[in-house]
């Protein structure tokens, strides 16, 4: 008699949910920085502090890597910076829940494209229907530019997943992520200084930027790493599909962003499509930590 399938540990599931919640709380805090340093300045602070923390904790080895490895990790860093820039520019224009719902289409489409099953494409249709509902006033009027930024963030998120996997083949543990975060910070910081000037280095702004980095990157990465040691990759990916719902709740509770029952239906369709795409994909892409 075959053994019954083992259920996911409740503690590991809790870690994933906690990591997602902290990410969206961090994104909510980031919105409060927009009035002072704008989206570009906020991204610079997040990437800068995240890089410092990861480099200090991981202490990656930079010797012994060839040209291919460095080109890959450089591309990873650029994708990381671009994803953050586009997502925060979207947050400056549309509600958090709408931005995350549109952004998650990037990994969803990647799962569908890499699938060998025709049924996976049906989930893309379900997700597209959900996004169409978002435009029906379910969050109020959605700024078309903000929608485009969120879609761009989704595309760079898909690139992030592919480049993360490639980087992992060249660098051990989290070394590649730490180096890529450092590259992303070096790329972002000049733009942040150019846009905000000396205001970027105000002590209070720096403190809030550090809080955004810890909430959005450091703690979620740690929680996800611990969860991945105890959860199957497919289960982890399905749990990550809950990001739009958690983002919408964070926007409601922390930012006071309202939504309608139509928005709830739209988000539900995208979540169902994400779960269906993950389960249909073969081979399944490896689960990756979120970086928004």
The pTM assigned to this predicted structure is: 0.80
Nearest to 96 by CA among 23, 44, 40: 23
Most confident by average pLDDT, 77-81, 196-200, 266-270, 279-283: 77-81
CA distance 262 to 131: 11
Across residues 134-150, what is the average pLDDT? 79
CB atoms within 10 A of CB 271: 21
More confident residue, 232 or 8: 232
CA distance 71 to 74: 5
Mean pLDDT, the chain, rounded, equals 82
* Per-residue model confidence (pLDDT) at position 273: 78
Sign for the CA dihedral angle at 159, 163, 164, 165 comes to: positive
Length of the chain as a residue count: 292
Contact indicator for 171, 58 with CB cutoff of 8 Å: no
Tokens representing 101? 């719902």
Distances (CA, A) of 88 to 5, 27, 31, 72, 171: 41, 8, 8, 24, 28
- What are the tens digits of pLDDT across the range 186-195? 999 999 999 8
Around 123, how many Cα atoms within 13 Å sit in the side-chain half-sphere?
Answer: 26
């Amino acid at each position: 008699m075959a053994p019954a399938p083992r259920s996911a540990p409740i503690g590991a599931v809790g870690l994933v949910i906690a990591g997602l919640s902290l990410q969206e709380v961090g994104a909510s805090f980031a919105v409060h920085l927009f009035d002072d340093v704008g989206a570009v300045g906020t991204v610079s602070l997040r990437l800068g502090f995240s890089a410092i923390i990861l480099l200090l904790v991981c202490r990656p080895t930079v010797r012994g890597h060839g040209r291919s490895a460095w080109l890959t990790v450089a591309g990873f860093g650029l994708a990381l910076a671009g994803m953050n820039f586009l997502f925060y520019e979207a947050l400056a224009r549309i509600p958090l829940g709408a931005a995350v719902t549109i952004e998650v289409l990037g990994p969803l489409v990647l799962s569908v494209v890499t699938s060998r099953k025709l049924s996976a494409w049906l989930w893309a249709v379900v997700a597209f229907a959900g996004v169409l509902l978002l435009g029906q006033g379910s969050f109020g009027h959605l700024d078309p530019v903000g929608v485009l930024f969120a879609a761009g963030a989704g595309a760079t998120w898909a690139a992030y997943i592919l480049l993360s996997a490639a980087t992992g083949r060249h660098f051990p543990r989290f070394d590649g992520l730490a180096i890529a975060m450092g590259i992303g910070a070096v790329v972002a910081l000049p733009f942040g200084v150019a846009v905000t000037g000396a205001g970027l280095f105000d002590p209070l702004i720096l403190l809030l930027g550090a809080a955004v980095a810890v909430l959005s990157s450091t703690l979620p990465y740690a929680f996800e790493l611990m969860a991945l040691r105890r959860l199957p990759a497919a289960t982890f990916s399905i749990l990550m599909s809950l990001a739009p719902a958690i983002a919408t709740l964070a926007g409601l509770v922390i930012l006071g962003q309202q939504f309608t029952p139509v928005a709830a239906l739209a988000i539900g369709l995208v979540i169902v499509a994400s779960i269906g795409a993950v389960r249909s994909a073969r081979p399944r892409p490896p689960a990756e930590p979120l970086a928004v």
